[in-house]
Chains A and B, each alone.
Chain A
């Protein structure tokens, strides 16, 4: 499975890692929904660290698309929340 960390790059993870990734993703979402700013940043940082440490960087000339795209490392909680409500982070 290929995971992109926005503005950083693509990582290839083993399928075994999907469950853990999902859990971390849900934790980030939960703290974001309860407006727990510190909790959100901690959870999101954990998610990124998991991807970076478990994943292998995908080569630059690899044309495969990502299965999952994560927000950029410097995402704010408000931006992350906008992701759920539909505004989106990617500029038109």
Chain B
């Protein structure tokens, strides 16, 4: 069979016969195979533990990003009520990016969960086959001549060898997936660090590459509507002072400037200082 299945079968069989070629005496082959099987079973257990660990790490990261979303939302509100619409917009843009990232992280974690279950399932099957092999091994050793034993051994070892190859494949795929996810999560963390989400005062517009990337990535219409909604909420929630500041902010943000040094002083007018130095 030349197709996909044929090729897979050939690869697996080649690997199994390589495993069996190691020893010459049938009895030795049996013990060697069994020993290899037990070793692999240990590896599988370790592999599953690795997947679980990586998954937990990603879940932690997810948790952190969720907190970041809440924080950015709060910061956007603060900035808006302080009359700094540009800052609010940037916070919302970042929030948008993180939310997109969260969605894909979420589905990837679910996939990993499924793979972990599959691996656990395969491990149980492999364990059953190894157990079966162990009892057959003793029968073969006791009852068959060397020539007959060779045949019986390769029959029995094929089943186990195939299961081993399959568990190995499942493990490899699960681990590759965690690696990809980890790299992605790390990249988001770097974005986060480079953009200093922590510190709103440094979020002057056009300050760094990250800002431009973020702006390009986030759909501005989504940010616009969120901003409008936030404004409306702030307007109705705090009718007196917030209303005035909101009006001032929209007037001030028309041009590109609107860089303000601090968010802590909402009473100050959004003065257009020479930008750059946030601290005096």
Residues of chain A touching chain B, judged by Cβ–Cβ distance below 8 Å, are: 3-4, 6-9, 21-22, 25-26, 28-29, 32, 44, 60-72, 74, 80, 83-84, 88-91
| Number of A-B residue pairs having CB atoms within 8 Å of each other in the complex | 105
Residues of chain A within 8 A (CB-CB) of B169 are 6-7, 72, 89-91
Contact with A along B197-237 (1 / 0, CB 8 A): 00000000000000000000000000000000000000000
- Contact between A4 and B166, CB atoms less than 8 A apart: yes
CB-nearest residue of chain B relative to A21? B5
- Contact between A72 and B4, CB atoms less than 8 A apart: no
Residues of chain B within 8 A (CB-CB) of A89 are 8, 11, 169
Taken together as a complex, chains A and B put the C-alpha atoms of A8 and B121 apart, in Å, by 9
Residues of chain A within 8 A (CB-CB) of B155 are 63-65
Distance in Å from the Cβ of A7 to the closest Cβ of chain B?
4
A-facing residues in B1-17 (Cβ within 8 Å): 1, 3-9, 11-13, 15-16
Residues of chain B within 8 A (CB-CB) of A6 are 8, 166, 169-170
Selected A-B contacts with CB under 8 Å, 21 pairs: A3-B5, A7-B170, A8-B118, A25-B5, A63-B132, A63-B156, A63-B158, A63-B160, A65-B155, A65-B159, A65-B161, A65-B162, A68-B1, A68-B5, A69-B5, A69-B162, A71-B4, A72-B169, A84-B4, A84-B7, A91-B168
A4-B162, A71-B4 given; 5 more Cβ-contact pairs under 8 Å: A22-B1, A65-B155, A66-B9, A69-B5, A69-B8
- Contact between B8 and A83, CB atoms less than 8 A apart: yes
CB-nearest residue of chain A relative to B174? A7
- Contact between B8 and A71, CB atoms less than 8 A apart: yes
Residues of chain B touching chain A, judged by Cβ–Cβ distance below 8 Å, are: 1, 3-9, 11-13, 15-16, 118, 122, 124-125, 128-129, 131-133, 136, 155-156, 158-162, 165-166, 168-170, 172-173
Interface centre among B12, B128, B156 (most CB of A within 10 A): B12
CB-nearest residue of chain A relative to B133? A63
Residues of chain B within 8 A (CB-CB) of A64 are 155, 158-159
Residues of chain B within 8 A (CB-CB) of A7 are 118, 122, 166, 169-170, 173
Residues of chain A within 8 A (CB-CB) of B1 are 22, 25, 68
Taken together as a complex, chains A and B put the C-alpha atoms of A28 and B162 apart, in Å, by 23
Taken together as a complex, chains A and B put the C-alpha atoms of A80 and B256 apart, in Å, by 52
- Contact between B4 and A80, CB atoms less than 8 A apart: yes
Distance in Å from the Cβ of B149 to the closest Cβ of chain A?
15
Distance in Å from the Cβ of B176 to the closest Cβ of chain A?
10
- Contact between B3 and A61, CB atoms less than 8 A apart: no
Distance in Å from the Cβ of A39 to the closest Cβ of chain B?
14
CB-nearest residue of chain A relative to B15? A90
Residues of chain B within 8 A (CB-CB) of A62 are 129, 132, 159
Distance in Å from the Cβ of B8 to the closest Cβ of chain A?
4
Residues of chain B within 8 A (CB-CB) of A90 are 8, 11-12, 15, 165, 168-169
A65-B159, A71-B8, A72-B173 given; A29·B3 CB < 8 A: yes
Distance in Å from the Cβ of B123 to the closest Cβ of chain A?
11
Contact pick for B12, options A21, A28, A69, A84, CB 8 Å? A69
